[in-house]
Structure 1
Amino acid sequence: MTTAEPTGLRARKKQRTRDALVRVALELFTTQGYERTTVDEIADTVEVSQRTFFRYFASKEEVAFAVQEILEAHYAVALRARPAEEGPLEALRNAVFAAWDAIGEAVEEIVPLDLYMRSFQMIESTPALLAAYLRRSTVTEEALAALIAEREGLDVNTDPRPRVAVAAFSGVMRATGRLWGQGADPSIEAIRSLTETFLDHLGPALAQNWRDGEQGSPHGP
């Protein structure tokens, strides 16, 4: 007669298997390419069956974005925690940097930080994944707009401002991610610095007339 495995131990073993699948998948994706990597290859490397892989992930695409999903959840928590007196764009911005302050620990529970950063670049350079990323971003932006509307006491379906603010902010984040992915420095410090610089110019870029002030200045003359 066998002794039943404790629930906590089973949960930890499942988490370890899931984390191993993510880690191996990202390593294979970033070294040999997303398209060339198969589910069987990921499963074989972790020494589990294909059936086990599909218990955790519906597809290669889902495992490619597994860490990203965790970070998006961290960001939503950070945004909800911003003080009520912060304006929408200020809250969106501060939540990014608050979330990034904890990104290392959150990511490294699953994969090495440098592997995650390389996987981010891999997504930017893989057409199928970039299309999926943009599709997923639409869903994320809707959730953020609803969160901003809730913060401000607005109806997201009748007041366009939450969606406009999130669209502008998300556009900056996509632009910095793309430029960082094309650069030579894959560090989180590099993308953080680039993002901060671009967000500093979000307000001036939305000003009515760019020609009134000095180029790049956040204020008028």
Structure 2
Amino acid sequence: METVGAAEAAPRPGLRERKKQRTRDALLRAALELFTTRGYEQTTVDDIAEAVDVSQRTFFRYFPGKEEAAFAVQDMVEEQFLESLRARPPHEAPLEALRRAVLDNWDRIGEAIMSLVPLELHLRMFRAIESTPALLAAHLRRSVETEEQLARLLAAREGLDVDTDPRPRLLTAAFGGVMRVTGRQWSTSEDLSLEGIRALTAAYLDQMGPALTGNWRATGPSGSGG
């Protein structure tokens, strides 16, 4: 009987975990909806909790604060990008590995995002981050942390000491700058889609080398007509 009882009890942790995940997903969706419609500064934790009919205490079980909720989907996107980079073939040059990893990530990230929130909501939140000073400041701070992760990953991949060889940090700083310019440009465009930001990312990464080493007066950027 004890064995049967244990077997019957086994599914319960799974059910609890699924309920917790549903609560977290509901809080996340409510937070992003409020941030993108009411405004980040105008939205309180109580507002988010009330929208899901839970207590403030329940919100804090899942998120340390509003900022973590605002960046939860983006954190997942960046983690998948890091996984894509780790999986790149070792023969690829560092910049090529970064380029292919980020483009491959945009190719497959839609389904992962939609497992958390509607894709359209995530893209609206992306724009809100760019247009909200407090969120933009947090985004820049987080970008610096991500660039350090990338530098250390590239250094390990190439067999370098990141603290004595400046190349991994130089490359990731340049790459991070391209990604920030891409995000800023996309956030003011009319094409609110993953395809749009992917195409812009590819175009801007292709301009990285010419922008750093080319003669700007001799030729204009690709596609500019210059």
Output the CA distance in 2 between the equivalents of 1:179 and 1:209.
23
1:139-164, CA deviations, whole angstroms, 9 ceiling, x for partnerless residues? 11000000000111100000000001
Contact 2:67 2:135 in 1 (8 A): yes
Of 197, 207, 215, the residue aligned with 2:220 is 215
What are structure 2's unaligned runs of at least 5 residues? 1-7
Output the CA distance in 2 between the equivalents of 1:214 and 1:127.
35
The answer for the alignment partner of 1:178 in structure 2 is 184
Output the CA distance in 1 between the equivalents of 2:152 and 2:216.
31
Q: CA deviation at 1:209?
A: 4.2
Q: Within 5 A, what are the aligned runs for 1:13-162?
A: 13-162=19-168
Q: CA deviation at 1:210?
A: 3.8
| Count of residue correspondences | 214
The answer for the alignment partner of 2:201 in structure 1 is 195
Output the CA distance in 2 between the equivalents of 1:208 and 1:28.
45
Contact 2:110 2:194 in 1 (8 A): no
Q: CA deviation at 1:183?
A: 1.6
Contact 2:29 2:117 in 1 (8 A): yes
What are structure 1's unaligned runs of at least 5 residues? none
1:138-191, CA deviations, whole angstroms, 9 ceiling, x for partnerless residues? 111000000000111100000000001101111000001001111222111111
Q: CA deviation at 1:26?
A: 0.3
* Paired AA for residue 208 in structure 2: L
Output the CA distance in 2 between the equivalents of 1:129 and 1:208.
34
* Paired AA for residue 22 in structure 2: R
1:11-51, CA deviations, whole angstroms, 9 ceiling, x for partnerless residues? 11111111111111001110111111111111011111100
Q: CA deviation at 1:97?
A: 1.0
Identity of aligned residues (%): 64
Q: CA deviation at 1:100?
A: 1.1
The TM-score, its normalising length taken from structure 1, stands at 0.93
The answer for the alignment partner of 2:4 in structure 1 is none
Between 201-210 and 35-44, the greater mean CA deviation after superposition = 201-210
Query: What secondary structure is seen at the aligned counterpart in 1 of 2:213?
Result: coil
The TM-score, its normalising length taken from structure 2, stands at 0.91
Q: CA deviation at 1:208?
A: 5.8
Q: Which runs of 4+ in 1 moved over 6 A?
A: none
* Paired AA for residue 221 in structure 2: G
Output the CA distance in 2 between the equivalents of 1:77 and 1:124.
25
Q: CA deviation at 1:216?
A: 2.9
